[in-house]
Amino acid sequence: MGWAYYALQVMAGAFALFLGVLFLVVLLLFAIDRTQTGDAIRRNYPVIGRFRGLFTTLGEFFRQYFFAMDREEMPFNRAQRNWVYNAAEAKGNTVAFGSTRNLNIPGTPIFMNAVFPPLDDQYASTEPMVVGPYCREPYMAPSIFNISGMSYGAISKPAVRALSRGARRAGIWLNTGEGGLAPYHLEGGCDIVFQIGTAKFGVRDAAGNLSDDKLREVARHPEVRMFEIKLSQGAKPGKGGILPAAKIDEEVARIRGVPMGLDAISPNRHREVDDFSDLLDLIARIREVTGKPVGIKSCIGSADPWFDLFREIRKRGEESAPDFITIDGGEGGTGAAPMPLIDLVGLPLREALIRMVDLRDLAGLRDRIRIIASGKLVAPGDVAWAICLGADFVTSARGFMFSLGCIQALKCNRNTCPTGITTHQPQLQKGLVVKEKDKRVAAYAKSVIGEVETIAHSVGVAEPREMRRRHVRVVLDDGSSVQVNELHPSVKLDSQGRAMTGGNAQFEAALKRFDEP
């Protein structure tokens, strides 16, 4: 029994030492809190006042697991995240006992099922769609659902590798984001959309200007199918981006063409583009140099300024038009942005998308300009809704982040992402195993596409792009619903592709604006 007595003595001594150290720490914190002048709570309530900051920090995590209901969280709730997780693991997404979604919330879409939907042998998969018919190398885009822009540097090497390989498995495209073309984008052999941001990362000369030689170098890769000029994004319209110096290693600096030790800053707009005429000149230049489709990405605040774009296109001819326009809603995401811009600036996608689709159609360019919808679209219902409103394609970034294992820790801008997606710390990146995550990326994409096709069949059409605004209703403030085509009639075109107003005063007024000097 002697060893037991000795062990108890040691434990008692250790416990006494622990209490003594704890007392000294509390005494030291008491003195610090009482004498500091920056925090009134800690000054008035030493030591215990520190728990307020701790609980505030931990609150967002506790709410996620213990307090928030399935449909309550923002920006994405538990039901949305769980759907993506299940889809990424190729698990069944069937549920029992009825929907947990409140169908009386204003803005909720309700798809109108057909009385006699197509039979099993009348279904069809979504057909590929050509983008850039006037280019030397048009792109036959195979998928309606694709990966939106996420830059290497903003997200990690294993994340880019998994997305590239997963995109190849699913037959979808991957947008590089504005951070340039990394070897890891090319690794999987997927189709790539190269995004040109305001800083021209990856295609800039030493002075930061667009380089034709660098453009040709990028375009030589057969995987690069299109180029996207980023004017603005939904999370921070009117403000450029910042990649912190801590995230810029030698490889990121080489790919982007920026020095190490400094933040990589993107201006709030392209310096050489002062109006839509300049923008069309830039589009023409890139298309001529690369031979590939060129489009633009923008968050819009109003349709009014965009009349000038279509007026200029009508003056120059439809060959001058951008091959596609990506509309990002004000609810779009980013790694870091000022809260006022995230919360308050930019039209939500549900408004912006309709406005741009109608402008394009009124200008008679429906078959010339493809519309891509982007902004918080992660589930099949989101994608189907955007297609009903007139989108030709849908892209998602955060949906694919969830497929990689994102837990919405909201640490994207701190280099401490616990899942290894947005961090460059090797010990955290180890959690993201590429050969497993690429399968999840592909499974998620295929699940979304498959279920969008299911919705299309349910409303009575053979494939998703045959869905129209008449196939979906939207809930109003009083809880009733109305067909979207009654709120926002679609533009009808004649056999020559010209808009027919059908007596719609709003459309007639818009057509007159196209002809204004």
Please write the tens of the pLDDT for every residue from 410-447: 777 777 788 888 887 888 888 888 888 899 999 999 99
pLDDT at 95: 65
Highest mean pLDDT of the ranges 83-97, 250-264, 486-500:
250-264
Residues 146 and 265 in one domain: yes
pLDDT at 62: 62
Both tokens of 242, joined, read 């910042």
Read off the pLDDT of each residue in 184-212 and give the average, rounded to a whole number: 92
Residue 450 within any structural domain of the chain: yes
Residue 250 within any structural domain of the chain: yes
Read off the pLDDT of each residue in 137-151 and give the average, rounded to a whole number: 95
Beta-carbon contacts of residue 271 (< 8 Å; ≥ 6 apart)? 198
Query: How many Å apart are CA 268 and CA 116, to the nearest integer?
Result: 51
Residues 203 and 300 in one domain: yes
Both tokens of 139, joined, read 């792109």
Residue 185 within any structural domain of the chain: yes
Q: Looking at the predicted structure, is the pLDDT value of residue 49 above 90?
A: no
Give ∠ CA 487-491-497 in degrees, rounded to 5: 170
pLDDT at 13: 82
Q: Looking at the predicted structure, is the pLDDT value of residue 388 above 90?
A: yes
Q: What is the band of 184 on the pLDDT scale with cuts at 50, 70, 90?
A: very high
Q: What is the band of 229 on the pLDDT scale with cuts at 50, 70, 90?
A: very high
Residue 190 within any structural domain of the chain: yes
Query: How many Å apart are CA 380 and CA 37, to the nearest integer?
Result: 53
pLDDT at 73: 62
Residues 172 and 49 in one domain: no
Q: Looking at the predicted structure, is the pLDDT value of residue 236 above 70?
A: no
Q: What is the band of 63 on the pLDDT scale with cuts at 50, 70, 90?
A: low
- Percent of residues in the chain assigned helix, strand, coil, to nearest 5: 45, 15, 45
**Residue type present at position 489:** P
Query: At which of 36, 67, 98 does a domain end?
Result: 67
What are the backbone dihedrals phi and psi of residue 210, each rounded to the nearest 5 degrees, phi first?
A: -65, 130
Read off the pLDDT of each residue in 75-91 and give the average, rounded to a whole number: 73
pLDDT at 123: 73
Both tokens of 273, joined, read 């583009």
Among residues 151, 145, 220, the alpha carbon closest in space to that of 180 is found at 151
Q: Looking at the predicted structure, is the pLDDT value of residue 394 above 70?
A: yes
Q: Looking at the predicted structure, is the pLDDT value of residue 268 above 80?
A: yes
pLDDT at 267: 82
Highest mean pLDDT of the ranges 24-28, 50-54, 280-284, 337-341:
280-284
Beta-carbon contacts of residue 385 (< 8 Å; ≥ 6 apart)? 109, 472
Per residue in 334-359, is it b (16+ CB within 10 Å) or e — as a string? bbbbeeebbeebbbbbbbbbbbbbbb
Among residues 443, 437, 332, 440, the alpha carbon closest in space to that of 377 is found at 332
Query: At which of 39, 67, 95 does a domain end?
Result: 67
pLDDT at 408: 79
Residue 447 to residues 129, 219, 444, 452, Cα–Cα distance (Å): 20, 31, 5, 8
Q: Are strands 370-374 and 393-396 parallel, antiparallel or unpaired?
A: parallel
293-306 pLDDT, tens per residue?
999 999 888 888 89
Q: Looking at the predicted structure, is the pLDDT value of residue 203 above 90?
A: yes
Q: Looking at the predicted structure, is the pLDDT value of residue 32 above 80?
A: yes
Residues 230 and 328 in one domain: yes
**Residue type present at position 413:** N
pLDDT at 251: 83
Peptide bond into 517 cis (omega under 30): no
Query: At which of 37, 67, 97 does a domain end?
Result: 67
Residue 238 within any structural domain of the chain: yes
Residues 142 and 4 in one domain: no
Among residues 149, 191, 154, 152, the alpha carbon closest in space to that of 170 is found at 191
Peptide bond into 237 cis (omega under 30): no
- Residue at token pair 């694709």: 146
Among residues 328, 306, 324, the alpha carbon closest in space to that of 373 is found at 328
Q: Are strands 109-111 and 472-475 parallel, antiparallel or unpaired?
A: antiparallel
Task: List, in sequence order, the alpha helices (H) in 329-432.
Answer: 339-344, 349-362, 380-389, 398-404, 426-429
Q: Are strands 139-141 and 224-230 parallel, antiparallel or unpaired?
A: unpaired
Q: Is 420 left (phi over 0), alpha (psi -120 to 50) or beta?
A: left
Query: How many Å apart are CA 278 and CA 272, to the nearest integer?
Result: 7
- The answer to whether the CB of 435 falls within 8 A of the CB of 366 is no
Q: What is the band of 283 on the pLDDT scale with cuts at 50, 70, 90?
A: very high
**Residue type present at position 125:** S
Q: Looking at the predicted structure, is the pLDDT value of residue 507 above 60?
A: yes
CATH of the domain at 202: 3.20.20.70
Domain count, the chain: 2
Residues 335 and 425 in one domain: yes
Q: Structural domain of residue 155, as residue ranges? A: 133-511
**Average pLDDT in the chain:** 85
Residue 116 within any structural domain of the chain: no
Both tokens of 118, joined, read 């197509």
- The answer to whether the CB of 394 falls within 8 A of the CB of 146 is yes
Query: How many Å apart are CA 252 and CA 358, to the nearest integer?
Result: 40
Q: Looking at the predicted structure, is the pLDDT value of residue 131 above 90?
A: yes
User: Any idea which of 219-233, 425-439, 486-500 has the lowest mean pLDDT?
Assistant: 486-500
pLDDT at 103: 78
Beta-ladder partners of 327: 298, 373
Read off the pLDDT of each residue in 17-30 and give the average, rounded to a whole number: 87
Report percent pLDDT > 70 for the chain.
86
pLDDT at 417: 80
Cβ of 220: how many Cβ atoms within 10 Å?
Answer: 9
